[in-house]
Amino acid sequence: MKIGIVGGTGDIGEGMAMRLSPLFDVIVGSREADKAEATCTMGREVMKKRGEPCSLTGVTNQGAIDAADVVILAIPFKHVAGTLSSLHGFENKIVVSPVNPMEKTDHFVFVPPQEGSAALMIREMLPKEARLCSAFNTIAANKWKALDEELEYSVPVCSDDAEAKKVVMEIVNKVSHFKAFDAGPLAVSCMVESLTPLLLNIARYNKMRDVSIQFR
């Protein structure tokens, strides 16, 4: 399976690419192909030192969409509209949104768009043939990059497309010790996205380094 990461050179995208690269063919996208390839070169060196196989290819964001079976939108909420407006080719692709609309004042706040969640806003921006899911919303960038750590996290997955949801849950379950949970339709994404600022606030006010969710 080929997984394309739009915004693959960002904090979340880089760690995500390395975590996924021993398991899938990962195509790292960026506005600049050279930057994407530099990230992949670094990633290949890291994985080689760890003695792990990896498949990393650096291209433009559009190239990542074109080549992938599954596209992950690893971009900050404030850049979603601008990025998606410049891209095409999402028809019949499984698209994964880990995007959380939030702001930091003296604490972290959930600030959903008028659609109610980032996922529902993204759905309006994509062609109707795109198969959108939300997943990985509660995984912090530093945890993606902490390759020596096994991550025993629960990962809620939302979608209106049952088959796409199944595929995404299978991907989730192959990464570290993640456990995917069917959280329902895409309309539930607002609840999942709001968990991230909550987790960040708990970590801050309780001086905790590793705050996650687990369903048991």
The answer to whether residues 91 and 63 touch, using CB atoms and an 8 Å cutoff, is no
**pLDDT(72) > 90:** yes
Alpha-carbon distance of 10 to 100, in angstroms, equals 15
Supply the mean pLDDT for the chain.
96
Q: What is the pLDDT of residues 88-147, one digit of tens each?
A: 999 999 999 999 999 999 999 999 999 999 999 999 999 999 999 999 999 998 999 999
What does the pLDDT average to over 8-13?
94
For 94-150, the three-class secondary structure string (H helix, E strand, C coil) is: EEEECCCCEEECCCEEECCCCCCCHHHHHHHHCCCCCEEEECCCCCCHHHHHCCCCC
Alpha-carbon distance of 70 to 92, in angstroms, equals 10
Whether the predicted model's global pTM rises above the 0.85 cut = yes
Alpha-carbon distance of 115 to 167, in angstroms, equals 26
111-142 in b/e burial notation, b at 16+ Cβ within 10 A? ebeebebbbbbbbebbeeebbbbbbbbbbbee
Alpha-carbon distance of 142 to 81, in angstroms, equals 25
* Cβ neighbours for 128, distance < 8 A, ≥ 6 positions apart: none
Q: What is the pLDDT of residues 176-185, one digit of tens each?
A: 999 999 999 9
Q: What is the pLDDT of residue 212?
A: 87
% residues pLDDT > 90 (the chain) = 94
Q: Report which of 42, 25, 34, 78 is spatially closest to residue 58, judged by C-alpha positions.
A: 34
What does the pLDDT average to over 17-35?
97
Q: What is the pLDDT of residue 211?
A: 87
End-to-end Cα, the chain, rounded Å:
30
3-class SS of residue 183: strand
% residues pLDDT > 70 (the chain) = 100
Q: What is the pLDDT of residue 193?
A: 98
**pLDDT(209) > 90:** no
Q: What is the pLDDT of residue 139?
A: 94
Q: What is the pLDDT of residue 168?
A: 98
* Cβ neighbours for 168, distance < 8 A, ≥ 6 positions apart: 70, 94, 96, 133, 135, 157, 159, 180
Q: What is the pLDDT of residue 210?
A: 79
**pLDDT(40) > 90:** yes
Alpha-carbon distance of 67 to 122, in angstroms, equals 21
- Break the chain into its structural domains and give their ranges: 2-205
CATH 3.40.50.720 fits 2-205, yes or no: yes
Q: Report which of 3, 175, 31, 195 is spatially closest to residue 108, judged by C-alpha positions.
A: 195
What are residue 180's phi and psi, to 5 degrees? -80, 140
**pLDDT(157) > 90:** yes
Could you tell me the CA-to-CA distances from 139 to 73, 91, 143 in Å, in that order?
Answer: 14, 27, 7
